[in-house]
Structure formats: C-alpha cells, structure tokens
C-alpha cells in the first residue's frame, strides 16, 4: 500500500529515531537521562485531578460533547475570564473562544482550513514541528523565515520577497519560542500587525509558554495589540501551565470569523473534548494559581543547574528568559557532526538524550535542545557525563 504523497513530503520525524536509540540504550541497561521531549514530568494539580474524577462519575459527561452544552459554555467563559485577568484582553466567550483537543490539533487543522495548493504559509525556522508539518499535510507551500540568535530569533518580515508575501495566506509565530527559548516584547507584535494589515494574511500566534517565564519577564499576548483581532488568533494550552499534556486540552482565541472556519473544519473530524476534561480544565483556569508559580520556580532551578553547569564545563550556553527549553550550539569539539549525529552520540556514549535541532526544521542544524523535564540531581549527573565526554581525547 502506497501512502499519500502528502505524507511522503513530510520530513523525517527525528524524535522517532531518538526514541529508538533510547530504547536500545535502555535494553542495554543504561539509565537514560532524558531531555528529549517537552513532556512535563510532574502531575497536574491535585484539585484538577479531583475534579476530573468527580466529573467522570457523571453519566451525562460520557455522551458526546455539544458546543451549546452547559459544561462547554462554562469552559469558554473560564477561558475568556482567564484571558481578561492575565492579559487584560476582553473576549466574547461565544464567538472568540474555541476549545481544542490540545493546541497541536487546532494548529494542524488551521492549515487544513485555509490553505489551497498554491497558498503559502510563512513559518519562522526553527519552529515547533506542527507549525510547518501542518502546512505540508494540508498541501500548502511552506516558506521558512530563518531566525537567528543575532536578531534575537525574531523573523525579519521585510526580508520576505514580495512575490512570496503576495501568495501568503497564513503566518505562524510563537513567543516565548520553542525550541530556542527566545522571547519578544509587545513592540514586536505591534510591528507584525502593522506589517500584516491589508495583506490578507492570517497571523496565528502560539502562546503555549506564556506562563513559563523567568527573571521578571512577562510574556505579552498578540491580542493586546490594537488591530490584531482583525487578522489574528492566538493558541494556548493547559499542557504546560498545568502539567496536563496527556489530557489533550487547549484553546484558540481571537478573530471570530477564523474561529468559525476552524470550528467548521473540526466538526467534520472530531466530536470535541471529553466533558470531564473540560470541567477539570475550568477548575484549573479558575482555581488557585500557586501551582503555576511553584512549577516556574522548579523550572528556573533546573534551568540554572543546566545552563550554569554547561558553561562551567566549557559548553557555552545562553540562559533563556522563558520556556522549559535550553537551545545551544553543538560544542566546538563535535561541530563537524550534524545535530542528529551529535544527539545520537550523546545517547549511545553517555545515555543522555537531547532533541537534535533539525527536528525543528533545517535552520536547527548545528544546534540541540534540552527540555528541562529531569530533576536537578539528574541534570547534575548529566553534566558530569557530558564533562567526561568533552574532556576525552577526540
Ligand atoms: C510551541 C508549542 N505549541 C503547541 C504545543 C502542543 O501543545 P498541546 O499539548 O496543547 O497540543 C507544544 C508542545 O510542546 C509547543 O511547544
């Protein structure tokens, strides 16, 4: 059986290769220290788990979710309320809020909803893979905007050729940024809105990491900018802020027309979110937020342990102001290797798993990403192993 061409056009999913290497190492008895995937290692807050259990006992919740249901209405209102409190952005819960089965689902479906075969989607590179893979799966044309440390990993919109801009229908952005940990300020979003106005380009901003911020940095919402709602939407998720990655719940807010089209697309492929999960998500957004503060404290401790540790052994690495990722160049000793070769070497030789930069697009070559999902003690153990590797004669 031949798979569809759209699948053949997708780049190799490098995480599958790393997963295979980890499996092989574990079979050899190696205790792999795993910084590979951005999957939070701590549980969801206790009161949220309690709410899930309670709601799972309600028979009515076992039926298909209905957009006009009470549970659904309460969640949309909780999201709007949370946005108001968090960013000062007012949203109509009926038309400007759409819950998703995780933000990844919504991001992929946005491309399907809007891209024809001759439409371009602009995606900064490196990026979170679904930003570009969703474009390819939808049959659209991907245009990578390279982002580099010299420009703070922000895209240079003026560098995009005019003929590309003319064919562009979608642009994905995401700050705080995965994989680089880069951040932006509100002035960047103001420039984006000014640039996009009148061009008929939807700006889809992914704000997954707004809560995971350090050193006094505050992540702005794209929707805080005047005029943004005419052309933009913003994705968010409970996966990271509340350690609910496996629960599959996120949401998108902003332009009502775009949300309507996305909702229409989804109505052909899914039946919404398990109502018990929706009730628990409402509890997370409306309940005490000290769980978020505690989580950020923990990630900061891990970030400092990893970055300070790497710098102390001579692997020059910058400290990110947000996200739970550390993005760093392959050290000089191994700079002749590709990112995948270097990531392979780390698992095979010392049992440390990282994500190769090319897993996030071609412009990730030469870099690797550490996800801070191991505790401080294991981070220190990993530093010890890396130190020995870097000191070994080549
Ligand atoms: C930038 C970004 N967007 C979206 C997602 C997906 O989140 P969700 O679990 O809501 O699908 C991730 C997950 O790592 C991410 O890093």
341 alpha-carbon distance from chain centroid: 24
CATH code for 5-43+290-391?
Answer: 3.90.1150.10
Place 330 in a pLDDT band, splitting at 50, 70 and 90. Answer: very high
Q: Ligand 1 centre and the CA of 208: distance in Å?
A: 6
Place 393 in a pLDDT band, splitting at 50, 70 and 90. Answer: confident
Q: What is the pLDDT of residues 62-71, one digit of tens each?
A: 999 998 999 9
Q: Ligand 1 centre and the CA of 37: distance in Å?
A: 11
Give the phi and the psi of residue 161 in degrees, each rounded to 5: -60, 145
Sheet holding 325-329, edge to edge: 325-329, 367-371, 355-356
Do 219 and 262 contact (CB within 8 A), yes or no? no
Place 17 in a pLDDT band, splitting at 50, 70 and 90. Answer: confident
Strand segments (E) across 230-344: 232-237, 250-254, 325-329
- HSE-CB for 115 with a 13 A CA cutoff: 28
Do 22 and 32 contact (CB within 8 A), yes or no? yes
The CATH fold of domain 46-286: 3.40.640
**Residue from 209, 294, 288 nearest 50 by CA:** 288
Give the phi and the psi of residue 43 in degrees, each rounded to 5: -80, 165
Give the phi and the psi of residue 366 in degrees, each rounded to 5: 90, -5
- Return the best residue to mutate from 208, 212, 253, 372 for the ligand 1 pocket (most ligand atoms within 8 A of CB): 208
Residues flanking ligand 1, CB < 6 Å = 38, 102-104, 128, 174, 178, 206, 208, 237, 239, 245, 250
**Residue from 104, 16, 34 nearest 346 by CA:** 34
- In DSSP notation, 76-115 reads HHHHHHHHHHHH-----TTTSEEEESSHHHHHHHHHHHH-
Neighbours of 116 (CB within 10 A): 10
Burial class (CB in 10 A: 0-12, 13-18, 19+), 307: buried
Strand partners, 213: 322
Q: What is the pLDDT of residues 242-268, one digit of tens each?
A: 999 999 999 999 999 999 999 999 999
Q: Ligand 1 centre and the CA of 103: distance in Å?
A: 6
Do 383 and 326 contact (CB within 8 A), yes or no? no
Could you identify the atom of ligand 1 that is nearest to the CA of residue 245? 9
Q: Which residue has the least CA distance to atom 6 on ligand 1?
A: 104
**Helix orientation angle between 129-137 and 103-114, rounded to the nearest 10 degrees:** 40
Averaged over 30-38, what is the pLDDT? 95
Assessment of whether the complete model's pTM goes beyond 0.95: yes
Domain spans of the chain, in order of start:
5-43+290-391, 46-286
The helix or strand, by DSSP H or E, that contains position 277, with its residue range, turns out to be helix 275-286
Distance (Å, whole) CA 214 – CA 298: 11
Q: Residue 14 above 80 pLDDT? A: no
What is the share, in percent, of the chain residues with pLDDT greater than 70?
Answer: 100
- HSE-CB for 195 with a 13 A CA cutoff: 19
Q: Ligand 1 centre and the CA of 101: distance in Å?
A: 11
Q: Which residues of 310-331 are buried (b: 16+ CB within 10 A; e: fewer)?
A: beeeebebeebbbbbbbbbbbb
Distance (Å, whole) CA 226 – CA 172: 19
Do 65 and 278 contact (CB within 8 A), yes or no? yes
């Amino acid at each position: 059986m031949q798979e569809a061409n759209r699948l053949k056009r997708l780049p190799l999913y490098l995480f599958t290769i790393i997963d295979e290497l980890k499996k092989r190492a574990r079979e050899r008895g190696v205790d792999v220290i795993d910084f590979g995937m951005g999957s939070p290692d701590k549980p969801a807050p206790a009161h949220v788990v309690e709410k899930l259990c309670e709601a799972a006992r309600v028979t009515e919740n076992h039926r298909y979710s209905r957009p006009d249901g009470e549970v659904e209405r309460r969640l949309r209102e909780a999201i709007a309320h949370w946005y108001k409190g968090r960013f000062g952005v007012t949203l109509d819960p009926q038309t400007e809020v759409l819950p998703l089965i995780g933000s990844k689902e919504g991001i992929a479906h946005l491309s399907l909803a809007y891209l024809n075969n001759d439409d371009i989607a602009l995606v900064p590179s490196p990026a979170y893979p679904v930003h570009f893979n969703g474009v390819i799966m939808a049959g659209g044309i991907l245009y990578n905007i390279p982002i580099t440390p010299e420009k703070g990993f922000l895209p240079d919109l003026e560098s995009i050729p005019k003929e590309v801009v003319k064919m562009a229908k979608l642009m994905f952005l995401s700050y705080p940024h995965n994989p680089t940990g880069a951040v932006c300020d509100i002035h960047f979003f103001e420039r984006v809105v000014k640039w996009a106005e009148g061009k008929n380009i939807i700006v889809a901003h992914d704000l997954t990491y707004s809560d995971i911020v350090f050193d006094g940095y505050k992540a702005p919402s794209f929707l805080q900018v005047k005029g943004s709602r005419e052309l933009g939407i913003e994705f968010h998720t409970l996966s990271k802020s509340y350690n609910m990655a496996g629960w599959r719940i996120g949401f998108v807010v902003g332009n009502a027309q775009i949300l309507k089209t996305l909702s229409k697309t989804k109505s052909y492929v899914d039946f919404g979110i398990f109502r018990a999960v929706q009730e628990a998500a409402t509890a997370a957004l409306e309940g005490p937020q000290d769980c978020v503060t505690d989580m950020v404290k923990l990630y900061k401790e891990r970030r400092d342990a990893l970055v300070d540790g790497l710098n102390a052994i001579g692997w020059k690495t910058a400290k990110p102001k947000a996200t739970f990722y550390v993005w760093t160049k392959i050290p000089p000793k191994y700079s002749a290797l590709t990112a995948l070769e270097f990531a392979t070497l780390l698992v095979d030789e010392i049992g440390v798993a990282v994500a190769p930069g090319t897993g996030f697009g071609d412009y990730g070559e030469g870099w690797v990403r550490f996800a801070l999902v191991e505790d401080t003690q294991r981070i220190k153990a990993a530093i010890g192993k890396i130190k020995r590797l870097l000191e070994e004669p080549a």
